[in-house]
Amino acid sequence: MNLREKISNKSAKIGVIGLGYVGLPLSFEYAQAGFHVIGIDNDMKKINALREGENYIDDVDSDKLKKLLLAGKIEAESDYSRIAEVDVIFICVPTPFTINKEPDVSYIRDAGEGILNGLRKEHLVILKSTTYPETTEKLLLPVLQQSGLRVGEDFYLAFSPERIDPGNKTYTTANTPVVVGGVTKQCTEMAVAVSELVISKVVPLSNTKAAEMTKLLENIFRSVNIALVNELAQLCDRMEGVDMWEVVDAAATKPFGFMPFYPGPGIGGHCILVDPYYLAWKAKEYDFHSNFIQMAGQTNENMPYYVLDLIIRSLSIRGGAILSSKFLMLGVSFKKNVDDVRNSPALKLMELLHARGGKNLIINDPYVPEVYVNNKTYKSRELTKDLLENVDCVVIATAHDKYDIDFIATHAKLVVDTRNATKSIRAELQNKIVRLGHGSNTYHPTVDEH
């Protein structure tokens, strides 16, 4: 039975390398559709959790996942010893950058070498990790070709980037359209065929490079627009009476030609922060300098430094100093209502506060029990009246929906709000609030308020 027949009758075994925010939801969808899935990850905590029927990704239904695990529809392995058993292999490994902002594709290379030992005819390999154009054909393909097998004839290779939005209850792995580009036409057809079985809409592209560039465009588009509003927010902080949040909402009433983006303390997660540097690095190979894209990335990366300055200024005009102040960081995940702390601007802000002497730092996050920053572990403290009253500055870094903003503002001495969470706060509490991009951050308290 050939691969196409196995895909059609759901007898194909699915392999997923990397069981994180992309790989586990993907494994779940294929198991739900009736396929047998073998997941591979070198993190034994994940492997042991899955073997115990436990879930660690909020976007996956825990009860349904447990049933699939107990039924043996999803198996978890820590090595590549069973790679020859599967028919379709998805690579969902991390693609971070180095300290010098250069791509780290070592995880992709390692995955390729792991597959190589069991690569056989009729294998389909689909890379889903976000990366720069030509990674599939110039990095992964040469590794797999060491087997002596011919791509497009003996085995198939394609790129289909992930489009995971952690915490999004509307768009999931199953109903978010994906693009697919194969090394050959046959590779594309095979990758489309297997993807269509669990994803509502699959868009075939002409090649892998087009698919790789598509993913970068999607995220760089967001990076550039976020950088624009972040820069304008800084301008609005100097302009009395101009609220950047109000301006964005007003512009969004235009029914065409505008899409709202909002300022914040920086950008986090994996893709939006990383992708501009991936493309900029690759562009140099063609003597092309992506100045505009890099400037946007720099603007976003500078936002934690700007927020630090806003905190220091806000304390100073109220007679406080960073060295003697107690700080409460509200929300340490990179976006609201999730437990994902990858590249979170809140963590960067904690590093900067600590470096400037703000070492009396407490955190609260209903989704993140603890984080390791500044060479120490910060455990999330219960958000109580006493806690709020005993700190000098509350920083809203991530505005989780679970937060009672009125309660926070009532009992805090000073709130630096980077997410516009306090926009509807009672008028009598406004003198405690400093909002990023609000246009009223030049407020000076009276003598009685010191």
Same domain? For 169 and 31 the reply is yes
- Whether the CB-CB separation of 370 and 379 falls below 8 Å is answered with yes
Same domain? For 307 and 198 the reply is no
271 a catalytic residue: yes
Selecting among 92, 187, 271, 393, the annotated active-site residue is 271
Same domain? For 186 and 328 the reply is no
Q: In this structure, what CATH number is given to the domain that contains residue 320?
A: 3.40.50.720
Same domain? For 191 and 309 the reply is no
Tell me which amino acid residue 156 is: Y
- Whether the CB-CB separation of 159 and 181 falls below 8 Å is answered with yes
In Å, how far from its chain's centre is CA 358?
Answer: 27
Same domain? For 201 and 315 the reply is no
Same domain? For 47 and 175 the reply is yes
pLDDT (tens, 9 = 90+) of the chain, 450 residues, equals 899 999 999 999 999 999 999 999 999 999 999 999 999 999 999 999 999 999 999 899 999 999 999 999 999 999 999 999 999 999 999 999 888 888 999 999 999 999 999 999 999 999 999 999 999 999 999 999 999 999 999 999 999 999 988 888 899 999 999 999 999 999 999 999 999 999 999 999 999 999 999 999 999 999 999 999 999 999 999 998 899 999 999 999 999 999 999 999 999 887 777 888 899 899 999 999 999 999 999 999 999 999 999 999 999 999 999 999 999 999 999 999 999 999 999 999 999 999 999 999 999 999 999 999 999 999 999 999 999 999 999 999 999 999 999 999 999 999 999 999 999 999 999 999 999 998 765 444 443 444
Per the domain annotation, does 246 fall within a domain? no
Instruction: Among 185, 206, 227, identify where a domain stops.
Output: 206
Per the domain annotation, does 287 fall within a domain? no
Instruction: Give residue 92's domain range.
Output: 3-206
Instruction: Among 179, 206, 233, identify where a domain stops.
Output: 206
Q: How far apart are CA 308 and CA 402, in angstroms?
A: 25
Same domain? For 198 and 312 the reply is no
Number of domains in the chain: 2
Same domain? For 165 and 60 the reply is yes
- Whether the CB-CB separation of 58 and 166 falls below 8 Å is answered with yes
Instruction: Among 157, 188, 206, identify where a domain stops.
Output: 206
Which residues lie below 8 Å from residue 28, measured CB to CB, with a gap of 6+?
60, 61, 64, 65, 68, 74, 173
Same domain? For 41 and 161 the reply is yes
Same domain? For 202 and 309 the reply is no
Same domain? For 179 and 327 the reply is no
Per the domain annotation, does 350 fall within a domain? yes
Same domain? For 199 and 301 the reply is no
pTM of the predicted model as reported, rounded to 2 decimal places: 0.91
Per the domain annotation, does 268 fall within a domain? no
Per the domain annotation, does 368 fall within a domain? yes
Per the domain annotation, does 411 fall within a domain? yes
